[in-house]
Amino acid sequence: MKGKVFFVGAGPGSLDLLTVRAVRVLERADVVLHDDLVPQSIVELAREATVIHVGKRCGHHGTSQDAINRMMIEFARACRAVVRLKSGDPAIFGRLGEEIDSLRGAGIEFEVVPGVTAGLAAAAGAGISLTDRRFASSVIFTTASLARDGRQDFRALIGSGTTVVIYMPGRDYAQIATELRNAGAADGLPCAVISRAGTAEESISLATVGGLGEIASDAPSLIIVGEVVGAQPRSVAEQVTASPTSAS
């Protein structure tokens, strides 16, 4: 027998947003290495597995990437079915490429089981169509922060007909607003901040780039920027303004 590593997307957090394949793989797993944002209800689907928390979050020390790579290889070489359980989709800002490289270098077989990424769950919860032939023909998923403490240059991303979904924006939305304006975004460009997308604790705040700095939102959150945010007329009950505790 040969061991194998399954990269499984846990989705944004709700148990009922898992794919059927993800559930089946978890139920048959021998070892699960899971990230910090994966809820316990999903981890518990791996009833017969050895479960190891390997999460890393901003501002907190966690398991190093090298250590995670070593564990995957060692467990797979011991003929185990190893699940590398990641929040959202494994291929969206989840270091999947680095982990695949380590397995290929060690000659370990792997499979990727996709999941619902937070950007899609956030748009669904807020009633936003990320593309709309009247307003946006393209979508960009990006992050505010880059490797080695760099910042995203939004100048190449902000443009007519594009929706920009900003993952991991940090807590300083005023800084994001300044960066968007410097990239050419108008103060009146609609945007939405969605916190804990796809979960029971989801909250949604609607604003414009000019009012983005007035919003306070719990992590994890993301920001959707573009005309599609304001495309659909909303009733008074649906309107959410740039207030610190707005929720939907």
Domain boundaries defined on the chain: 4-113, 118-230
Helix axes 96-106, 65-77, angle to 10 degrees: 40
The architecture CATH gives domain 4-113: 3-Layer(aba) Sandwich (3.40)
The torsion angles phi and psi of 160, rounded to 5 degrees, stand at: -65, 135
Instruction: Report which of residues 188 and 56 the model is more confident about.
Output: 188
Q: Which conformational region is residue 170 in: left (phi greater than 0), alpha (psi within -120 to 50 degrees), or beta?
A: left
Confidence of residue 241 (pLDDT cuts 50, 70, 90): very low
Task: Find, among 60, 78, 65, the residue nearest to 5 by Cα.
Answer: 78
Confidence of residue 246 (pLDDT cuts 50, 70, 90): very low
Please check whether the two domains, 4-113 and 118-230, share a CATH topology.
Answer: no
Collect all residues with Cβ–Cβ distance below 8 Å to 206 and sequence separation of at least 6. 126, 190, 191, 192, 229, 230, 239, 240, 241, 242, 246
More confident residue, 232 or 71: 71
Residue 2 burial (CB count, 10 A): 9
Residues taking part in catalysis:
35, 56, 168
Residue 84: strand pairing partners: 7, 33
CATH architecture of 118-230: 2-Layer Sandwich (3.30)
Q: What is the pTM of this model?
A: 0.88
Residue 151 pLDDT: 87
For 63-118, the pLDDT digits (tens) are 999 999 999 999 999 999 999 999 999 999 999 999 999 999 999 999 999 999 99
- CA nearest 63: which of 101, 117, 23, 99? 99
Distance CA 117, CA 123 (A): 10
